[in-house]
């Protein structure tokens, strides 16, 4: 099944909310005769009979065979937003029908963190050394320097940066020439000192007050992880004051529960989503001593021990980067249409990015291709598990640079970046683990965002 046939078959709208609408429309098309009383009486009777049958049999219908009930139980749509512990998840169906219902699935985690053996070193992965451009020296014609957090990378520099070799590349945090003010994303010295000590990190962010604070499920987190893993939640000042107003005030150590709140001042982008990509994609820059990091979106509550996650998604599979695929979409063509349909971003900017990618070799996802490099070209990037190895760090920088240059929709640039990196380094292994979305749902509990961030 190629990309387009896939589109036609599924329609362009795979969101549950949209499905409700379409379902409604379908019923709406039944031609109701307006005048015949007998027909009305018949319909009324039939409806009554159906209702009676349905309700009297409801408790006999196996849960997983009733599509309507399943949609109401959809975790994304119906989770509480109060921050109170949510009710226990519905039992996963024995055989879930592909792409429709989205449930967590079984993951064989290690029994306990006590017997985990971290691989002795990370040097079995592709080795080279990366340095990062610290300062942009280029100035514009009229001597007004346009400060950019991502720097001013030329297309030629961009092209060269894809080679997995010793190099110095753009990877955010680019300062202006001496004498210029900060580029943004400022962190106070105390927090920086703490972040420099972190060896294993779980991090997330809330900018622009877009989410509630979801604390990791404490009883699922081992004593070992509580002592050895940094849990860092990046927030802006606006979010911090909103959280404080709601009674979530950090203690003297800057912590709320397991999260240590790190306040970011002087946000580098007007677009909060784009700002959010800094901690999401650049954890190796924010935590320079870290060997491993786990990113989760703030709409999720972590409820598996981070060490068990590292073991399951990296160590066991000898991977250096793990991310889940999208629950419904696998093709970038489809993702582009979906982004436009939901007005996620300026359409012209999406087209510019997409045309550029097509002219540079992006192809449609072909599920039947036995040599396909990824199980899907569309990620569900709300959960990322990384070893901070050279390939993993390079991929993260390259992906961030795309988000900086083009739209902030990172699902659009993911496959292009990955495929180009592979294409330009055929002899350099990158041990990538794209796991199933249902597994992501086991790692963390999903909630809806607090507010809808307007498209920019």
Ligand X SMILES: *[C@@H]1O[C@H](CO)[C@@H](O)[C@H](O)[C@H]1NC(C)=O
Chain positions 258 to 297 lying near ligand X, rule: CB under 6 A, are: none
Residues 430/126, Cβ–Cβ less than 8 Å:
yes
**Candidate residues 105, 263, 349, 373; the one interacting with ligand X per rule CB under 6 A:** 349
Q: Where does this chain touch ligand X (CB under 6 A) — which range of 325-333, 345-353, 368-376, 382-390? A: 345-353
Nearer to ligand X by Cβ, of 226 and 316: the residue is 316
Minimal CA–CA distance to 212: which of 452, 453, 448, 455? 448
Residues 322/313, Cβ–Cβ less than 8 Å:
yes
Interface characters, 67-106, with ligand X (x: CB under 6 A): ----------------------------------------
Minimal CA–CA distance to 312: which of 105, 75, 126, 96? 105
Chain positions 405 to 444 lying near ligand X, rule: CB under 6 A, are: 429
Q: How far is the CB of 131 from ligand X (least distance, A)?
A: 9
Nearer to ligand X by Cβ, of 263 and 349: the residue is 349
Q: Where does this chain touch ligand X (CB under 6 A) — which range of 232-240, 264-272, 298-306, 346-354? A: 346-354
Distance (Å, whole) CA 124 – CA 115: 22
Nearer to ligand X by Cβ, of 129 and 143: the residue is 129
Axis-axis angle for helices 272-281, 410-424 (nearest 10): 40
Q: If 0-12 CB within 10 Å is exposed, 13-18 middle and 19+ buried, where does residue 426 land? A: exposed
Nearer to ligand X by Cβ, of 181 and 454: the residue is 454
Under the criterion CB under 6 A, does residue 123 sit at the interface with ligand X?
A: no
Q: How far is the CB of 125 from ligand X (least distance, A)?
A: 8
Nearer to ligand X by Cβ, of 120 and 141: the residue is 120
Distance (Å, whole) CA 82 – CA 246: 11
**Candidate residues 288, 346, 355, 372; the one interacting with ligand X per rule CB under 6 A:** 346
CA angle 417, 423, 427 (to 5 degrees): 125
**Candidate residues 56, 57, 82, 348; the one interacting with ligand X per rule CB under 6 A:** 348
Distance (Å, whole) CA 137 – CA 160: 19
Chain positions 352 to 371 lying near ligand X, rule: CB under 6 A, are: 352
Chain positions 125 to 184 lying near ligand X, rule: CB under 6 A, are: 128-129, 166
Residue 49 DSSP SS3 = helix
Pairing mode of beta strands 255-256, 200-206:
unpaired
Distance (Å, whole) CA 239 – CA 328: 32
Nearer to ligand X by Cβ, of 343 and 346: the residue is 346
Residues paired with residue 204 on neighbouring β-strands, in sequence order: 233
Binding site for ligand X (CB under 6 A): 124, 128-129, 166, 346, 348-349, 352, 429
């Amino acid at each position: 099944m190629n990309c387009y046939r896939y589109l036609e078959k599924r329609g362009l709208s795979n969101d549950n909310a949209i499905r409700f609408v379409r379902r409604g429309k379908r019923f709406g098309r039944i031609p109701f005769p307006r005048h015949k009383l007998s027909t009305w009486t018949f319909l009324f009777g039939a409806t009554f009979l159906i209702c009676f049958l349905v309700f009297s049999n409801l408790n006999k219908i196996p849960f997983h065979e009733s599509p309507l009930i399943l949609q109401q139980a959809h975790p994304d749509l119906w989770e509480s937003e109060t921050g109170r512990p949510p009710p226990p998840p519905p039992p996963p169906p024995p055989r879930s029908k592909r792409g429709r219902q989205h449930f967590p699935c079984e993951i064989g985690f290690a029994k306990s963190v006590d017997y985990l053996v971290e691989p002795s070193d990370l040097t079995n992965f592709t080795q080279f050394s990366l340095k990062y451009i610290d300062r942009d020296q280029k100035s514009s014609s009229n001597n007004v320097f346009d400060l950019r957090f991502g720097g001013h990378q030329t297309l030629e520099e961009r092209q060269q940066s894809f080679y997995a070799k010793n190099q110095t590349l753009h990877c955010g945090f680019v300062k202006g020439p001496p004498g210029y003010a900060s580029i943004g994303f400022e962190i106070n010295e105390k927090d920086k000192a703490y972040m420099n000590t972190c060896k294993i990190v779980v991090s997330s962010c809330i900018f622009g007050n877009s989410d509630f604070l979801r604390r990791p499920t404490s009883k699922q987190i081992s004593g070992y992880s509580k002592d050895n893993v940094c849990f860092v939640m990046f927030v802006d000042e606006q979010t911090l004051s909103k959280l404080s107003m709601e009674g979530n005030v950090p203690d003297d150590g800057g912590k709320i529960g397991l999260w240590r709140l790190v306040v970011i001042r002087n946000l580098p982008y007007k677009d909060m989503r784009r700002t959010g990509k800094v901690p999401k994609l650049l954890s190796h820059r924010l935590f320079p001593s870290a060997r491993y990091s786990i990113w989760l979106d703030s709409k999720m509550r972590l409820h598996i021990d981070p060490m068990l996650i590292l073991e399951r998604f990296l160590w066991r599979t000898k991977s250096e980067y793990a991310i889940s695929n999208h629950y419904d979409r696998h093709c970038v063509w489809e993702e582009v249409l979906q982004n436009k349909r939901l007005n996620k971003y300026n359409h012209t900017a999406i087209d510019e990015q997409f045309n550029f990618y097509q002219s540079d070799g992006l192809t449609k996802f072909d599920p039947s291709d036995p040599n396909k490099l990824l199980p899907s070209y569309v990620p569900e990037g709300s959960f990322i598990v990384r070893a901070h190895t050279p390939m993993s760090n390079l991929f993260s920088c390259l992906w961030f640079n795309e988000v900086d240059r083009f739209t902030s929709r990172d699902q659009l640039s993911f496959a292009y970046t990955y495929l180009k990196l592979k294409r330009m380094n055929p002899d350099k292994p990158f041990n990538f683990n794209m796991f199933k979305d249902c597994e992501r749902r086991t790692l963390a509990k999903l909630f809806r965002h607090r507010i809808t961030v307007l498209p920019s």
